[in-house]
Structure 1
Amino acid sequence: MTVTVSMHFVNELFRGLPAAEDARGGYLERAAISPFLLTAPHGRVTVEQFATLYRLLVNEYDDETPGFFARPLRSGTLKLLCLSVLEAPTLRVALHRYTLFFRIVLDDFGYEYSVEDELVRVALVERKPPAGSRILIHELMLKLFHGIASWMIARKIPPILMECAYTQPAHSADYLYFYPGKVLFDRPETAIYFDCGLLDQPIRQTKQHLGAFLRRAPADWFYVSFADRLVSHRVREHLSRNLAASGTVKDVAAALHMSVRTLSRRLAAEGTHFQAVKDEFRRDFAIQALTRTQRPLLGISEDLGFEDLACFSRAFKAWTGNSPAAYRRATTSLPKPPDAIP
């Protein structure tokens, strides 16, 4: 999974856990996240690093929503939730059970859904201010629903619209991959919309599949490729296979069977442009290579299609605020994160 996330997700994860602030360095080290990234301009971590940190805090505080709400969700809550919805015949029934489950286990937070104009709207309901970081909670709890719903029907659910009950954050460029679809900010509620035809989809997962799903959580919910629907995702997937050989806008447009002008117009409709998508992919590829491999910097530079190491270093510093050499030095002394935390 060649994708990274903003340090927003790491920094804000500690907001509801005052006691964890003092021990933050230890948690970061165990997740193989260099502490220098906390203050690094445009710092980023891999999805696997964030997921490892999340699971460490879940286990440490026996709270599967660590410090988010007034009442902790003890270990096993997510498993119990999934078991309660897996027996549903369709997504419609599962969605009803999902919202009922949170009504029972939490006093200050929940979900509600409605169907109108051929769209299902699933909204977050705040009955009182959350204990943790509000934006992070909204992002993760809506992504939790989207991840579980997609997994249950064994089909990626394309979000048609996402509404956010907060001002556009600095890391909102991640939403192109976090919530692929139209995104609106400063709305009355945070909500996600999708095609109501999916409500009649049968539940295709069983208890035998649940263990693997839970072990991968929450990493699998972050980045979902919709290359069949979004041109930006198609561009990224092409670059992942052909960057060094055919990474120019002309090459990519030809591979996608469209003109450069059409490619530019369709990317603009998704709120981005070719160079941004290419740079985001190269940034994420470089961070993965620097943190997970011992490949020489020159080799990484060549893989990414740079003319020389100096060009790569300048670009990486513009993306993250640090040189690739400094980034690697800061992480080489850290332990490798465990593949899975029970």
Structure 2
Amino acid sequence: MPEITSITVPISFVRDLLAAVHDPLKRRGLIEKAGIAPLLLEEGSARVTAEQFSILYRLVARELDDELPGMFARPVRGGAFKLLCLSMLDSTSLRIAIYRLSRFMRLVVDDFSVDLSVHGDLVRVALMPSGTTPVLKVFAQEVMLKLIHGVVSWLVGRKMPVARVDLSYSRPEHASVYVFLYPGAACFDQAQTALYFEAKDLEAPVRQTKRSLTDFLKRAPADWLFVSFAEHIVSHHVRECLEKHLDRPTAIADVAKALHFSVRTLSRRLDAEGATFQGIKDELRRDVAIQRLTKTDTPIAVIGAEVGFDDPTTFHRAFKKWTGSTPGAYRTST
């Protein structure tokens, strides 16, 4: 399951992750170890790479001895994730594996339970807040859905298709990143946060072993946070098509033709996913530019040209609009 290497993560995720680290000096030390400039925390539209966020997650989890750092009333101690995976490996089907996951979470977390129920042809895996915690933090819900879906997909050795994702909160400003986090249409302001997938998938066999678990744990949390599960989402296909021709002008008509849609149909499909062609194009340019600014010494003017800007001034203006910083300031700070 290949990772999406070009995506970036909103700075709000970094702030939420660091919320449990109360010592300012420790907080600064952790973000610097992850290669994130402290100044970015003050920029509302700043982004970090998926790799930087994954490194920071591991550092914070180790610092707090909490594998779900500060998300719940009591910490989930180091080693819990490994024990969870081990408990599921000898399951004869995905149904049994998810049941074991729900029982395991009941032992380590008081704030919610994982509820598995069948509704016709669909299965719902829902986060049910406890009486003592009527409202779960948004960040905690985002991470738990990714953990459940990522682990389930890893267990069966394929990207588990999801029919729908329900979120019990209103659409956040960073919702555009959900196309990479969740593989189904996101529905906000729902009664519970839940994933839905086809009931027949419950009988899928578990295909992983202790040997493959070792590699999975080494890469955690990247393998369950930032693996692409969005291939069937039209906006993902648009992004892939644009990325192949990023250094040249590509109009919506070009992409529609490549994807065998009319322009009208493509626009309608994107609208149904809460996306626009220009929005996808800008997000891709932003993410690729950030990747190259942080990981290469390529001149800024060349990076601008590589993401489709012939005029360096236009690139500088666009980048500042996207992130709150100029390309030069962003590179210096990181």
Work out whether the TM-score is over 0.5: yes
> TM-score interval w.r.t. the shorter chain?
over 0.9
TM-score by length of 2: 0.93
Say yes or no: does 1:269 pair with 2:254: no
1:11 and 2:46 are equivalent in the alignment? no
What corresponds to 1:52 in structure 2?
Answer: 55
Pairing partner for 2:35 from 22, 32, 37: 32
- What amino acid is aligned across from residue 14 of structure 1 in structure 2? L
Matches within 5 A, 1:102-121: 102-121=105-124
**Secondary structure of residue in 1 paired with 2:48:** strand
Q: Secondary structure at the match of 1:23?
A: helix
Q: Deviations over 1:319-341 (max 9, x none)?
A: 1111111100111xxxxxxxxxx
Match of 2:126 in 1: 123
SS, match of residue 206 in structure 2? coil
**1:82 maps to what in 2?**
85
Q: Secondary structure at the match of 1:27?
A: helix
Partner of 1:23: 26
Cα distance between partner residues in 2 of 1:97 and 1:326? 48
Report the alpha carbon displacement of residue 59 of structure 1 after superposing the two structures with TM: 1.0
Q: Any conservation in 2 of the 1:58–1:65 contact (CA below 8 Å)?
A: yes
Q: Structure 1, residues 133-169: CA drift from partner, whole Å, max 9, x if none?
A: 8111111011100000000001111222111122222
1: CA distance between counterparts of 2:184 and 2:150?
A: 15
Q: Which has the higher contact order (CA 8 A, sep 6+)?
A: 1
Matches within 5 A, 1:242-261: 242-245=245-248, 247-261=250-264
Amino acid at match of 1:280: E
| Distance in 2 between residues matched to 1:313 and 1:105, nearest whole Å | 48
Instruction: Give the Cα separation in 2 of the matches to 1:22 and 1:128.
Output: 36
Establish whether residue 62 from structure 1 lines up as the match of residue 65 from structure 2: yes
Q: Distance in 1 between matches of 2:93 and 2:131?
A: 32
TM-score normalised according to structure 1 size: 0.91
**Alpha-carbon offset, residue 224 of structure 1:** 4.2
Aligned residues of 1:114 and 1:120 also touching (Cα < 8 A): yes
The 2-side partners of 1:54 and 1:242 are apart by 33
Question: 8 Å contact 2:129–2:136 — kept in the other structure?
Answer: no
C-alpha distance after superposition, 1:31-79 (max 9, x if no partner): 1111111111311111111111110011112111122223222111101
Give, in whole Å, the separation in 1 of the partners of 2:262 and 2:170.
36
CA separation in 1, counterparts of 2:16 and 2:229? 27
Equivalence for 1:302: 305
Q: Which aligned pairs between 1:115-194 and structure 2 lie closer than 5 A?
A: 115-127=118-130, 134-194=137-197
Gaps of 5+ in 1: 332-342
Q: 1:218 aligned to 2:221? A: yes
Extract unaligned runs of 5+ from structure 2: none
CA contact (8 A) 1:227 1:233 kept: yes
Shift of 1:239: 1.9
Cα gap change, 1:323 to 1:256, in 2 (>3 Å): same
Deviation at 1:284, TM superposition (A): 0.5
SS in 2 for 1:187: coil
